[in-house]
Amino acid sequence: MGGERALTRRLQDWFPAPKDARIAIGDDAAVCKNRGRDSVLCVDPVVEGEHFVRGEDLALVGRKVVNRNLSDIAAMGAVADYLLVSLVLPRDLHARDLDRLLRGLRAAAKAGGAFVVGGDVSSTSGPLVVTVTAIGHCEGRVLLRSGARVGDSIHVTGALGGSIAGKHLRFVPRLKEGAWLARSATPCTACMDISDGLLLDLWTMLQASGGLGAEIDARAVPIALAAHRLAKTDGKDALMRALSDGEDHELLFTVKKGRTLPMGGPLTARARKPIGRVVNEPGLWLIQDGRRQKVAPSGHEHDVAAV
Amino acid sequence: MGGERALTRRLQDWFPAPKDARIAIGDDAAVCKNRGRDSVLCVDPVVEGEHFVRGEDLALVGRKVVNRNLSDIAAMGAVADYLLVSLVLPRDLHARDLDRLLRGLRAAAKAGGAFVVGGDVSSTSGPLVVTVTAIGHCEGRVLLRSGARVGDSIHVTGALGGSIAGKHLRFVPRLKEGAWLARSATPCTACMDISDGLLLDLWTMLQASGGLGAEIDARAVPIALAAHRLAKTDGKDALMRALSDGEDHELLFTVKKGRTLPMGGPLTARARKPIGRVVNEPGLWLIQDGRRQKVAPSGHEHDVAAV
């Protein structure tokens, strides 16, 4: 058994990028030349039993799979244009559930400014699998994971933790924020979406940026209400949830050392306030109650067999 | 229970095409404006238990899913540029089988001149699902299903029937043939790939072209050796297999009335010879032993629940 990240590294070896690709496997989306212009391409499935449970409202499932892709588009600072939908439908799926699924897909596409232009339908005796591909383009720069540098401040677009209580189905992809961060005047140096947990995704960003480290100020990490609520029932610390729970789909981004973000735009005051900074020493360091302690890049990583 | 075609019609209602799309849901691929240029987009999955059986060499499965997409690209007369791969992997998948799968994906991509630039990996307790998205562009015209007219001759690029004996995994997408037919000098009026059987796909083309009919000359239909071989064991008529077996992935195309295809190019002599012609009377008519009899648009259609 191995992790998704190990498999991603193997895929990079298996599928070397074409010469005209700015980025291929290993970021939130691929950025490829499309006859002289950059196209942004990504694909993400949701699988019954993995990303949602049987009995879930399929309108929310349709919303989730579209928004997972739009969140990847947002993380590149791009604009979504087109979506393709592949439906692998269990034979016992009810017509009203398929309607709910299509309704959720359509509403999320519309909210994200993208059109469903194609797809395919298959049957299965197994679980429902809905796979969406998003095709977009950049109007500003492309925001990569690999641009973080020592001294850059670290930011997130919203509160984290406890997404399992509902946000994992209902999150809103940060398209406006991503596109704004990609404008040439902003000092944003790196960006990705938080799908596997803050610490694990931050670690991924730091690795992509040349093996750097980060200090996180525990008091500055925005903790979602859901994380506090869950803490009361299961006893898991709300801060630890904010640091390591997956599927918040907020943007994690860095701002160039000594620079501040321009005023205006869609970012909240909280997103403008750093939660930490990039350091030269590899590793993740949590500053809490005046102490600086090393923490593991824990988070939610899909176990993938065969790696 | 209903058919894939019924669901496709419903999807067209659910997801109206954007204003700048030349074609969206309902052809082999979507053709959309990508900042002034046409992009050709399609997605196709293969599902264990539906498109292949457990125990099959996954190199052939990887090849099949890439080539199903490249065949859709070919049917539009387009060139494939990029591929995205979404892997939903059973937890008990062996490392060597994943290697075989990746090997098949890579070899087929390379043979088709396309690059795998992105993807995603998930786990499942259900069957293996591999979904590939292809992004291409047109250098000539776009070949649609809807262009057939009364009097046009009907052609296929190769022998048909019995693909279940092996061709369904090993077919070669007709990229060269599609691109050649899309050149401005050829009198090709409509094109699609034969995935569900000649009669059913021809019926789909005639419906898309305004509700026309076709006469097929039984003696002119090229019958694959595999169809003859299977006829000896299961007694099903080889001609009927050629007319209705799915997954041959040859191109079905029409040539403008009174025109002939230019010399040269990749088409075989057999593909240049018509197998029939488009008629005004709706329906499919088989000319056999001097008799003209109506035949049903039979073929392989995925039953899809919930329609």
User: How do the domains of chain B map onto residue ranges?
Assistant: 14-138, 145-304
How high is the mean pLDDT of chain B? 91
Q: Which 3-state string (H, E, C) describes B54-110?
A: CCCCHHHHHHHHHHHHHHHHHHCCEEEEEEEEEEEEECCCCHHHHHHHHHHHHHHHH
- Estimate to the nearest angstrom the gap between the alpha carbon of B166 and the chain centroid: 16
Model confidence band, residue B1 (pLDDT cutoffs 50, 70, 90) = very low
Q: Which residues contact A221 (CB under 8 A, 6 or more apart)?
A: A156, A160, A198, A239, A242, A243, A275
- The model carries a pTM of 0.92
**Backbone φ, ψ for residue A97 (5° rounding):** -70, -40
Which residues in chain A belong to E strands, given as ranges? 2-3, 21-23, 30-34, 37-47, 78-90, 115-124, 129-138, 153-156, 188-193, 213-217, 251-255, 276-279, 283-288, 291-295, 303-304
DSSP SS3 for A281: coil
**Mutating which of B1, B5, B38, B115 best tests the A interface, going by the most A Cβ atoms within 10 A?**
B115
Kind of pairing between the strands at B115-124 and B78-90: parallel
As given in the structure block, the two tokens for residue B125 are: 């307790």
Rg of the Cα atoms in chain A: 19
Along the 307 residues of chain A, how does pLDDT read in single tens digits? 356 677 777 777 888 777 766 676 778 888 887 766 788 999 999 999 999 999 999 999 999 999 999 999 999 999 999 999 999 999 999 999 999 999 999 999 999 999 999 889 999 999 999 999 999 998 889 999 999 999 999 999 999 999 999 999 999 999 999 999 999 889 999 999 999 999 999 999 999 999 999 999 999 999 999 999 999 998 889 999 999 999 999 999 999 999 999 999 999 999 999 999 999 999 999 999 999 999 998 777 655 545 4
Domain A2-138 sits in which CATH superfamily? PurM-like, N-terminal domain (3.30.1330.10)
Find, among A206, A84, A261, the residue nearest to B41 by Cα.
Answer: A84
Dump pLDDT digits (tens) for A76-97. 999 999 999 999 999 999 999 9
Subunit contact B84:A30, Cβ cutoff 8 A: yes
Burial of A210 (0-12, 13-18, 19+ CB in 10 A): exposed
By C-alpha distance, the chain B residue nearest A92 is B305
**How far is CA A8 from each of CA A65, A306, A307, rounded to the nearest angstrom?**
20, 13, 10
In this predicted structure, what is the pLDDT of residue A1?
Answer: 35
Between helix A58-75 and helix A95-111 the angle, nearest 10°, is 30
Domain B14-138 sits in which CATH superfamily? PurM-like, N-terminal domain (3.30.1330.10)
Average pLDDT over residues B197-223: 97
Residues B143 and B267: their CA atoms lie apart, in Å, by 16
In this predicted structure, what is the pLDDT of residue A38?
Answer: 82
In this predicted structure, what is the pLDDT of residue A235?
Answer: 86
- Percent of chain B topping pLDDT 90: 79
Three-point CA angle B255, B258, B259, nearest 5°: 55
User: How far does A306 lie from chain B, in Å, by closest CA?
Assistant: 4
Dump pLDDT digits (tens) for B63-83. 999 999 999 999 999 999 999
Q: Which CATH number fits domain A145-304: 3.40.50.1700, 3.90.650.10, 3.40.1350.10, 3.55.50.30?
A: 3.90.650.10
DSSP SS3 for B191: strand
- Estimate to the nearest angstrom the gap between the alpha carbon of A271 and the chain centroid: 16
Residue B118 has its nearest CB partner, among A41, A45, A47, at A41
By C-alpha distance, the chain A residue nearest B133 is A133
ipTM of this predicted structure? 0.90
In this predicted structure, what is the pLDDT of residue B55?
Answer: 92
By C-alpha distance, the chain A residue nearest B49 is A124
Find, among B232, B229, B220, the residue nearest to B272 by Cα.
Answer: B220
DSSP SS3 for B176: helix
Dump pLDDT digits (tens) for A140-194. 899 999 999 999 999 999 999 999 999 999 999 999 999 999 998 899 999 999 9
In this predicted structure, what is the pLDDT of residue B72?
Answer: 96
Asked if residues B84 and A43 have their Cβ atoms less than 8 Å apart, the reply is yes
**How far is CA A302 from each of CA A1, A168, A199, A305, rounded to the nearest angstrom?**
10, 15, 15, 10
Subunit contact A129:B43, Cβ cutoff 8 A: no
Subunit contact A45:B120, Cβ cutoff 8 A: yes
User: How far does B40 lie from chain A, in Å, by closest CA?
Assistant: 10
Average pLDDT over residues B277-282: 97
Comparing B32 with A21, which gets the higher pLDDT? B32
